[in-house]
A and B are shown apart, each in its own frame.
Chain A
Amino acid sequence: MSDEGHRGDARLPGHETDITPSPEPHARTEDLPAEPAPEPGTGYNFAYLDEGTKRMIRRAILKAIAIPGYQVPFASREMPMPYGWGTGGVQVTAAILGRSDVLKVIDQGSDDTTNAVSIRAFFARTAGVAVTTRTAEATVIQTRHRIPERPLAEGQVLVYQVPIPEPLRFLEPRETETRQLHALAEYGLMHVKLYEDIARHGHIATTYAYPVEVAGRYVMDPSPTPKFDNPKMDDCPALQLFGAGREKRIYAVPPHTRVRSLDFEDHPFRVQHFAEPCALCAARGVYLDEVLLDDAGRRMFVCSDTDHCEERRAAGHRGEGA
């Protein structure tokens, strides 16, 4: 059966309007069918997880939003994919997803790599939700290590897959100690680490998973996104949720929240710059991937965000390699 057919079966007439204001909340009961509709992908609950698990994850998400940047422990479940394939993000997405959502999944900016395709197919099958590759159309975007180039909008939710949620983990391996450091807002270790970068390399050499301070309190790992994307997290109109499945942590950045990349007065935070534009769409000021073309070392640089690149090419932009 096609995804289209699943979606058609799952929707009740007039059901999506339940949440809109109505002067008489009780008056519409008789209009609605008595039984809930059968779910797509029969045999699974909507979006795979059972309702008890969703409640537990939802409670963790609410506390994560109330305490921006703080890592809330949660009882991460085994998912039908291995740890490291985005089980944290998948559980967060499953807990928030509704029938009217439109889901986009990206892996290093790309909609068409294995991880992105299989997670998108997973939710199309277990939840019957509409899926898209277009950033502008999506209500929920699950991401592995990029933030889309197109600015996010109010009402969108960005769900990050996180491998190691603890920014201090490689400096202090004991969880009991890192908890204390966060409780005391004692982040000197992190500044020492950045300083040692400067002492060795002359500049801050951290290029991804670059630590940020959220709302002036907690230091947070933005997941292994390139530091190029850090400025997009600051004052972002979309809600940002982070799920780490193996490490069993959920954290969040509410919309319009100050997210500051750690730095020093004499070594201010800077993002990567690319000398050449995208070889396919000629975009500048975007994050580029290096693509090897042959054994002789020829290469080209193209947009990491495939949707952004395709939209630009559809609008007539052409790079030198197109």
Chain B
Amino acid sequence: MALAPGLRDPVHDAQRVFRAVMDALARPGRVQALTLTLSPPAPLTPELAALALTLADADAPLWLDAPLSASPEVAAFLRFHTGAPVVADPGQAAFALVSDPARCPDFAEFAQGTPAYPDRSATLVLALDRLGEDGRLVLEGPGIRGRAHLSAAPLPPDCAARLAANHARFPLGIDLLLAAPGRLAGLPRSTRVTEA
């Protein structure tokens, strides 16, 4: 099977994707538009592929969840376009691509950073079906004026508790990017998440 092409315009497409990611993390709960022309091999979604191609490289290893690592085409696509090592140990990854968020491993299995270097921690990218600025998740913290609301599905069943535990470890912890078709939101570790 022929390798699917990467970003059509690597310089400017990557810049646009990065700005969407930057705005998503700087303004948690604000959903950013992310429209792409990528058609990566399934089950890798265009959004997950775009984020990996924009941010991963030889210095930033990728971890793939079970459905993604079951597809040799996905690994070949990511290796060719990013040059990033694909690691089996979640603790070694800079970015984790999760196509089945309902079965996402515990956040504590990923790199949390150290007290002196909390930045040496993972960013998880979850492929969702739906993402909206209304819903049961209530967000507070840096980047949010007052409160924000977020609806996102599917998520791990105990997601609010996991996010609370992640926030409690601040400044250690992981950061989440939620990527639904054409839409992106961020949940950095600094955000307090509760369920209304």
Q: Are B33 and A217 in contact (CB under 8 A)?
A: no
The reply to whether A63 and B16 form a contact with Cβ atoms under 8 Å apart is no
Residues of B contacting A: mostly: loop
Interface flags for A63-85 (1: CB within 8 Å of B; 0: not) read 11111101011000000000000
How distant is the Cα of A54 from the Cα of B145 in the complex, in angstroms? 30
Q: What is the bound-complex CA distance between A164 and B11, given in angstroms? A: 31
Q: What residues of A have a CB within 8 angstroms of the CB of B55 in the complex?
A: 55, 58-59, 62
Chain A binder among B22-30, B85-93, B152-160 = B22-30
Contacting residues, chain A, for B36 (C-beta < 8 A): 18, 25
B26 touches A52 (CB 8 A): no
Known: A36-B12, A66-B189. A239 touches B26 (CB 8 A): yes
Cβ–Cβ < 8 Å partners of B121 in chain A: 63
Q: How many residues of B contact A (CB 8 A)?
A: 54
B80 at interface, CB cutoff 8 A: no
Q: How many residues of A contact B (CB 8 A)?
A: 57
Chain B hits for A52, CB < 8 A = 57
Q: Which residues of B contact A239 (CB under 8 A)?
A: 22-23, 26
- Whether B21 contacts A62 by the Cβ 8 Å rule is yes
Chain B proximity of A271: nearest CB distance (Å): 23
Rounded to whole angstroms, the CA-CA distance of A218 and B119 in the bound complex is 14
Q: Is the CB of B35 within 8 A of A22?
A: yes
Tell me whether A62 and B35 are in contact (CB under 8 A).
no
Shortest distance between the CB of A185 and any CB in chain B (Å): 9
Whether A51 touches B11, Cβ cut-off 8 Å, given contacts A67-B171, A239-B26, A254-B27, is yes
Interface residues of A (CB under 8 A from B): 15, 18-22, 25-26, 28-29, 32, 36, 39, 45-46, 51-52, 54-56, 58-68, 70, 72-73, 95-99, 179-180, 182-184, 215, 217-218, 235, 237, 239, 252-258
